[in-house]
Amino acid sequence: MAELTYRDAVAAGIAQEMARDERVVFLGEDVAHAGGVFKATVGLLDQFGPKRVRDTPISEQAILGAAMGAAMTGLRPIAEIMFSDFLAVCWDIVANEIAKSRYMTNGQVQVPLVIRTANGAGSRFGAQHSQSVENWAMMIPGIKVVAPAFPADVKGLIAAAVRDEDPVIVFEQKSLYPMKGEVPDDEHVDELGKARVLRRGKDCTIVALALMVHRALAAAEILEKEHGISCTVVDVRSLVPLDTVTILAEVAVTGRLVTVEENPRLCGWGAEIASIIADECFWELDGPIIRITTPHIPLPSADRLEDNTIPSVERIVREIVEKID
Q: What is the mean pLDDT of residues 248-274?
A: 97
pLDDT, residue 324, reads: 86
- The reply to whether 59 and 120 lie within a common domain is yes
- The reply to whether 286 and 149 lie within a common domain is no
- The reply to whether 177 and 223 lie within a common domain is no
- 227 catalytic? Reply is no
- The reply to whether 124 and 214 lie within a common domain is no
- The reply to whether 77 and 114 lie within a common domain is yes
CA distance 163 to 191: 10
Predicted TM-score of the model (pTM): 0.97
Q: What is the mean pLDDT of residues 184-193?
A: 96
Q: Which residues pair with 135 in a beta bridge?
A: none
pLDDT, residue 139, reads: 96
Q: Compute φ and ψ for 156, nearest 5 degrees.
A: -70, -40
Asked whether the predicted pLDDT for residue 240 surpasses 80, the reply is yes
Non-local (6+) Cβ contacts of 93 within 8 A are 61, 64, 65, 68
Number of domains present in the structure of the chain = 2
CA distance 92 to 80: 16
191 domain-assigned: no
- The reply to whether 163 and 261 lie within a common domain is no
Q: Which of 33, 129, 188, 214 is catalytic?
A: 129
**pLDDT by residue (tens digit) across 295-321?**
999 999 999 999 999 999 999 999 999
Which domain does 17 fall in, by range? Answer: 2-183
Alpha-carbon distances, residue 113 vs 126, 217, 227 (angstroms): 29, 33, 46
Asked whether the predicted pLDDT for residue 227 surpasses 90, the reply is yes
Q: Which of 158, 183, 208 represents a domain boundary (last residue)?
A: 183
- Mean confidence (pLDDT) of the chain: 97
Helix or strand or coil: residue 235? Answer: strand
56 domain-assigned: yes
CA distance 201 to 162: 35
**pLDDT by residue (tens digit) across 37-69?**
999 999 999 999 999 999 999 999 999 999 999
Rounded to a whole number of angstroms, the distance between the first and last alpha carbons of the chain is 41
159 domain-assigned: yes
- The reply to whether 179 and 208 lie within a common domain is no
- The reply to whether 134 and 230 lie within a common domain is no
Q: ∠ CA 128-77-176 to the nearest 5 degrees?
A: 45
Sheet holding 204-208, edge to edge: 196-199, 231-235, 204-208, 257-264, 290-294
**pLDDT by residue (tens digit) across 152-175?**
999 999 999 999 999 999 999 999
Asked whether the predicted pLDDT for residue 325 surpasses 80, the reply is no
164 domain-assigned: yes
- The reply to whether 212 and 140 lie within a common domain is no
> pLDDT exceeding 70 applies to what percent of the chain?
100
Residues 197, 152, 165, 145: what is their CA dihedral angle, to the nearest 10 degrees? 60
pLDDT, residue 1, reads: 85
- The reply to whether 61 and 94 lie within a common domain is yes
Give the CATH number, domain containing residue 278.
Answer: 3.40.50.920
140 domain-assigned: yes
- The reply to whether 132 and 222 lie within a common domain is no
- The reply to whether 60 and 170 lie within a common domain is yes
